């Protein structure tokens, strides 16, 4: 007799930069979540969907949990907590090289309020000596009753299949929530805005903080589906940031546009006409209305 089909939702949490997007991409085998070596690139939840003959795991890539510094931070933190209590499994990712830090204690305090089973995933083991790994694991084990502790490397792939085996064990019996060829339920618009944001962060290095947002004003395919017309606004907090993003003679914005356009074309499979604008709006992060516009708060609330 064949095993029953299992399915469920797994939330990926951890401090910024521990490798959540890298792990999600490794498991799903393609670029869905946005990767960057900078903190806080993933703002919204991204559902990555992993389907085999035996199971379907819907991954929720929550934004890095951290002490809120402004209104946006509070909203993100509240969203993350709500998510953790809804899911079947919480995957708490840490960076083996960075070791234990205050940010992790903050998350562990959160976990005390969560009923879902929690795995500790010790990532980036390719960067540490095995002798340093055991004391680190002992330290975390003393802080929280993790159901499983799995050292792995999201980048190189070590132990990722073991992680998937353990996830399977903990999943409840359930239906296929999504068709098996679907890997994300996120609207293309969101992925497009994240791709543009990623390019800006990559090209401007540390000159532009993470306080930028990209809003897609228009995204329309022409009748024959050969060309997609996209207009997007990059929101910054200060005129100096606007200057950096536009660059000398518009060079930087042009570069951002070219790189983003190529990836968007690959994503949607048609030619893209991309127009970018930059707008200064001080303290947009603190404005409730703006948060709603960006989709961080439900309009119904």
Is there a binding annotation on residue 90? no
Q: Under the criterion CB under 6 A, does residue 40 sit at the interface with ligand GTP?
A: yes
Among 32, 87, 90, 154, binds ligand GTP (CB under 6 A): 154
Is there a binding annotation on residue 63? yes
Q: Under the criterion CB under 6 A, does residue 64 sit at the interface with ligand GTP?
A: yes
Closer CB to ligand GTP, 51 or 123, in the complex = 123
Which residue pairs, CB below 8 angstroms and at least 24 apart, start in 282-289? 282/237, 282/238, 283/237, 284/213, 284/235, 284/237, 285/70, 285/71, 285/72, 285/211, 285/237, 286/70, 286/71, 286/72, 287/71, 288/71
Q: Under the criterion CB under 6 A, does residue 123 sit at the interface with ligand GTP?
A: yes
- The Cα 246–Cα 299 span in angstroms is 32
Q: State the burial class of residue 63 (Cβ atoms within 10 Å of its Cβ: 0-12, 13-18, 19+).
A: buried
Q: Assess contact for 248 and 297: CB atoms under 8 A.
A: no
Q: How far is the CB of 43 from ligand GTP (least distance, A)?
A: 8
Is there a binding annotation on residue 248? no
Beta bridge partners of 118: 90
Number of residues that bind ligand GTP (CB under 6 A): 23
Options 2-10, 147-155, 215-223, 237-245: segment touching ligand GTP (CB under 6 A): 147-155
State the binding string over 7-26 for ligand GTP (x if CB under 6 A, else -): -------x-xxxxxxx----
- The Cα 168–Cα 181 span in angstroms is 19
- The Cα 181–Cα 61 span in angstroms is 19
Options 123-131, 180-188, 242-250, 278-286: segment touching ligand GTP (CB under 6 A): 123-131
Options 108-116, 124-132, 266-274, 283-291: segment touching ligand GTP (CB under 6 A): 124-132
- The Cα 187–Cα 60 span in angstroms is 15
Which residue ranges are tagged as binding site for GTP?
14-21, 61-65, 123-126
Chain residues that interact with ligand GTP, rule: CB under 6 A: 14, 16-22, 35-37, 39-42, 64, 123-124, 126-127, 153-155
């Amino acid at each position: 007799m064949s095993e029953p089909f299992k399915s469920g939702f797994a939330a990926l949490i951890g401090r910024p930069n521990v490798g959540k997007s890298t792990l999600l991409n490794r498991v799903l085998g393609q670029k869905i979540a946005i990767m960057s070596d900078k903190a806080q690139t993933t703002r919204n939840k991204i559902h990555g969907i992993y389907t085999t003959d035996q199971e379907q795991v819907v991954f929720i890539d929550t934004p890095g949990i951290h002490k809120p510094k402004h209104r946006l931070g509070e909203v993100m933190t509240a969203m993350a907590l709500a998510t953790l209590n809804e899911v079947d499994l919480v995957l708490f990712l840490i960076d083996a090289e960075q070791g234990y830090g205050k940010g992790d204690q903050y998350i562990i305090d959160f976990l005390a309020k969560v009923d879902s089973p929690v795995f500790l995933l010790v990532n980036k083991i390719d960067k540490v000596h095995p002798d340093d790994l055991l004391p680190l694991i002992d330290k975390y084990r003393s802080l929280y009753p993790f159901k499983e502790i799995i050292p792995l490397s999201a980048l190189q792939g070590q132990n990722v299949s073991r992680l998937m085996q353990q996830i399977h064990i903990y999943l409840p019996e359930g239906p296929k929530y999504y068709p098996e060829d679907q890997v994300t339920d996120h609207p293309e618009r969101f992925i497009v805005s994240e791709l543009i944001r990623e390019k800006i962060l990559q090209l401007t290095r540390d000159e532009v903080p993470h306080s930028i947002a990209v809003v897609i004003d228009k995204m329309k395919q022409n009748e024959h589906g050969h060309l997609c017309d996209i207009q997007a606004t990059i929101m910054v907090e200060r005129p100096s940031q606007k200057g950096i993003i536009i660059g000398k003679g518009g060079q930087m914005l042009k570069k951002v546009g070219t790189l983003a356009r190529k990836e968007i074309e690959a994503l949607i499979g048609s030619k893209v006409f991309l127009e970018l604008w930059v707008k200064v709006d001080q303290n947009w992060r603190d404005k409730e209305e703006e948060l709603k516009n960006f989709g961080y708060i439900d309009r119904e609330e």
